[in-house]
């Protein structure tokens, strides 16, 4: 592509961060539409699953990666969102977008409480406190079983596509708007909205302050940053994301039950964030994709290799663990960290080669 064309194209791109992010999200939306329309109902449902993991994971990566606070309690925060959504949808009077917003708001409120306590804690103590959250919250659902349905959980009536939308989609794509696809759209549109907000936020003053707090508390405080307030804010933003993720989870799974929000969920989110690359939104997306697509792929591979169903099922957690260990050994910065490192190395070598070439040609000329 000639340089003038690129320059022209670049001039077309908005110069503001918000504008660029908006354009990115719009491009993302197009990709989502194309992918969801071209894949079958099962892939659609996997994408729906990925969306709720990703919504919570991007929130967590902002908290842990940018602000340096570790949370083992995001599964519990997702539970708060899921139960809020379930309770609101049960009444039948609330449209689902309102229920989702309410879920985010309620979880944000829970985030204020937890965040206020967490802001005083560091490292392992913070991990311990949030761990208590992860263990305690599902217990609440069992204790107050009259409201939350106990061990069996709360059935959630997930939204069905309205007729006009189904007809419109059929008109455009000649494909039925299945419920799996509709839920995947809900999940991904929510995810894109969250990504847009977080991308702006992290590029803004707050993002810089969070990073400053993470890197050097004393310096940040000297610069006039109020540490506690900023920490709580990060926690609240992150909790709201987890709540939204929980809302999508409730609608996709059609159930909010304590056994769905064990410590395993919190740890999965943390692994997704770490494996993808801590602090990076793209990394969180990659990690979530791994959570969703790796286990069935491994099980399928195991069955193809002639293992019995049980053995194949046992293979999945094994491979997951191995991948985790290998990533930590080979690429401690996560997948995205490794990509960045490789790209740096490559650019440097190319630059080196060009310098050598330049020297050579100048010699020839001289």
Partner 1 sequence: MTKWVRRRRTALVAAVAAATVLASACGAGGRSEGDSGGGAADPGITEDSVKVGAHFPLTGVAAPGYSAIPTGAKAYFDYVNANGGVHGRTIEYVYRDDAYNPTNTSQVVNELVLQDEIFAMVGGLGTPTHSAVLDFLNSNGVPDLFVSSGSLLWDQPEQNPMTFGWQPDYEVEGKIIGKYVKENFPEAKVGLFLQDDDFGRDGEKGARAYIDDQIVAAERYAPGNTDIGPQIAALQAAGADLVIGFNVPSYTALSQLTALRLNYQPQWIYSNVGSDPALVGALLGRFSEGKVTDSSMLDGAITTEYMPGVDESDDPWTQLWRKVWDAHGGEEGELSNYRIYGMAQAYTFVQALQAAGPDPTRQGLVDALEQVGGELRGPAFVPFRYSADSHAGMSGVKVVRIKGNGSEDLSPVQVTDNGDAEITEYTEEQATPPANGIPDVQPAG
Instruction: For residue 10, state whether it binds partner 1 (rule: CB under 8 A).
Output: yes
Instruction: For residue 342, state whether it binds partner 1 (rule: CB under 8 A).
Output: no
- Residue 305 beta carbon to partner 1: minimum distance, rounded to whole angstroms: 16
User: Which is closer to partner 1, CB of 200 or CB of 262?
Assistant: 262
What the block records as the tokens of 23 is: 């354009």
Instruction: For residue 151, state whether it binds partner 1 (rule: CB under 8 A).
Output: yes
Q: Judge contact between 306 and 292, C-beta under 8 A.
A: no
Alpha carbons 283 and 127: distance in angstroms, whole number: 22
- Residue 96 beta carbon to partner 1: minimum distance, rounded to whole angstroms: 16
Instruction: For residue 34, state whether it binds partner 1 (rule: CB under 8 A).
Output: yes
Applying CB under 8 A, which of residues 22, 121, 155, 324 lies at the interface with partner 1? 155
- Residue 172 beta carbon to partner 1: minimum distance, rounded to whole angstroms: 5
User: Which is closer to partner 1, CB of 36 or CB of 278?
Assistant: 36
The C-alpha angle with vertex 311 and arms to 306 and 312, in degrees rounded to 5, equals: 65
Instruction: For residue 316, state whether it binds partner 1 (rule: CB under 8 A).
Output: yes
Instruction: For residue 37, state whether it binds partner 1 (rule: CB under 8 A).
Output: yes
User: Which is closer to partner 1, CB of 12 or CB of 330?
Assistant: 12
The C-alpha angle with vertex 100 and arms to 99 and 106, in degrees rounded to 5, equals: 85
Which of 54-62, 93-101, 102-110, 135-143 is the region at the interface with partner 1 (rule: CB under 8 A)? 135-143
Alpha carbons 128 and 69: distance in angstroms, whole number: 12
Phi, psi values for residue 154, rounded to 5°: -110, 125
Sequence-distant (≥ 6) Cβ neighbours of residue 105 within 8 angstroms? 240, 243
Applying CB under 8 A, which of residues 46, 107, 202, 271 lies at the interface with partner 1? 46
Instruction: For residue 351, state whether it binds partner 1 (rule: CB under 8 A).
Output: no
| DSSP-assigned letters across all residues of 7-66 | HHHHHHS-SSHHHHHHHHHHHHHHHHHHHHHHS-HHHHHHHHHHHHHHHHHHHHHIIIII
User: Which is closer to partner 1, CB of 232 or CB of 315?
Assistant: 315
Applying CB under 8 A, which of residues 15, 171, 306, 362 lies at the interface with partner 1? 171
Write the Ramachandran bin of 254: left for phi over 0, alpha for psi from -120 to 50, otherwise beta.
left
For helices 123-143 and 74-91, angle between their N-to-C axes, nearest 10 degrees: 30
> Would you tell me how many other CB atoms lie within 10 Å of the CB of residue 37?
15
User: Which is closer to partner 1, CB of 220 or CB of 315?
Assistant: 315
Which of 86-94, 164-172, 196-204, 227-235 is the region at the interface with partner 1 (rule: CB under 8 A)? 164-172
Instruction: For residue 219, state whether it binds partner 1 (rule: CB under 8 A).
Output: no
Q: Judge contact between 210 and 67, C-beta under 8 A.
A: yes
User: Which is closer to partner 1, CB of 35 or CB of 338?
Assistant: 35
C-alpha distance from residue 175 to each of 183, 208, 258, 311, 349 (Å): 15, 45, 36, 38, 49
What residues from 243 to 302 belong to the interface with partner 1 (CB under 8 A)?
A: 249, 252-255, 257, 259-260, 262, 264-265, 296, 299
User: Which is closer to partner 1, CB of 8 or CB of 223?
Assistant: 8
User: Which is closer to partner 1, CB of 34 or CB of 356?
Assistant: 34
Q: Is residue 154 within a helix (H) or strand (E), and if so which, with residue range?
A: strand 154-155
- Contact residues for partner 1 (CB under 8 A)? 1, 6, 9-10, 12-13, 23-24, 27, 30-31, 33-34, 37-38, 40-42, 45-46, 49, 139, 142-143, 145, 150-153, 155, 157, 167, 170-174, 179-180, 249, 252-255, 257, 259-260, 262, 264-265, 296, 299, 308-310, 313-314, 316-317, 347
């Amino acid at each position: 592509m000639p340089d003038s064309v690129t320059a022209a194209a670049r001039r077309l791109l908005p110069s503001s961060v918000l504008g660029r992010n908006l354009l990115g999200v719009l491009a993302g939306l197009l990709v989502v539409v194309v992918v969801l329309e071209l894949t079958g109902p099962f892939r659609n449902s996997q994408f729906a699953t990925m969306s709720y993991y990703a919504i919570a994971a991007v929130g967590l990566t902002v908290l842990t990666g940018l602000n340096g606070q570790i949370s083992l309690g995001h599964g519990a925060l997702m539970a708060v969102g899921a139960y809020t959504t379930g309770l609101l949808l049960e009444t039948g009077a609330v449209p689902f977008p309102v229920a989702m917003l309410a879920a985010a708001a309620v979880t944000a409120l829970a985030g204020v409480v937890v965040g206020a306590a967490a802001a005083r804690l560091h490292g392992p103590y913070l991990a311990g406190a949030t761990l208590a959250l992860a263990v305690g919250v599902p217990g609440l659902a069992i204790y107050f079983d009259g409201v939350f349905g106990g061990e069996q959980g709360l059935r959630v009536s997930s939204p069905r596509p309205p007729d006009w939308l189904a007809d419109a989609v059929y008109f455009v794509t000649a494909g039925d708007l299945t419920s799996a696809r509709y839920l995947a759209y809900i999940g991904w549109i929510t995810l894109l909205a969250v990504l847009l907000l977080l991308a702006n936020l992290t590029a803004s003053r707050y993002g810089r302050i969070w990073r400053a707090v993470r890197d050097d508390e004393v310096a940040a405080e000297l610069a006039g940053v109020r540490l506690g307030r900023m920490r709580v804010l990060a926690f609240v933003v992150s909790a709201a994301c987890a709540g939204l993720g929980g809302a999508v989870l409730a609608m996709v799974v059609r159930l909010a039950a304590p056994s769905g929000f064990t410590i395993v969920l919190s740890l999965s989110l943390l692994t997704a964030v770490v494996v993808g690359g801590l602090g990076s939104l793209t990394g969180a997306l990659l990690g979530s994709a791994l959570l969703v697509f790796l286990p069935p792929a491994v099980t399928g591979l195991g069955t193809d290799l002639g293992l019995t169903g049980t053995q194949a099922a046992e293979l999945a957690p094994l491979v997951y663990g191995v991948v985790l260990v290998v990533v930590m050994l080979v690429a401690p910065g996560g997948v995205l960290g490794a990509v960045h490192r490789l790209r740096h190395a490559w650019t440097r070598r190319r630059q080196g080669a060009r310098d050598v070439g330049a020297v050579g040609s100048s010699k020839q000329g001289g």
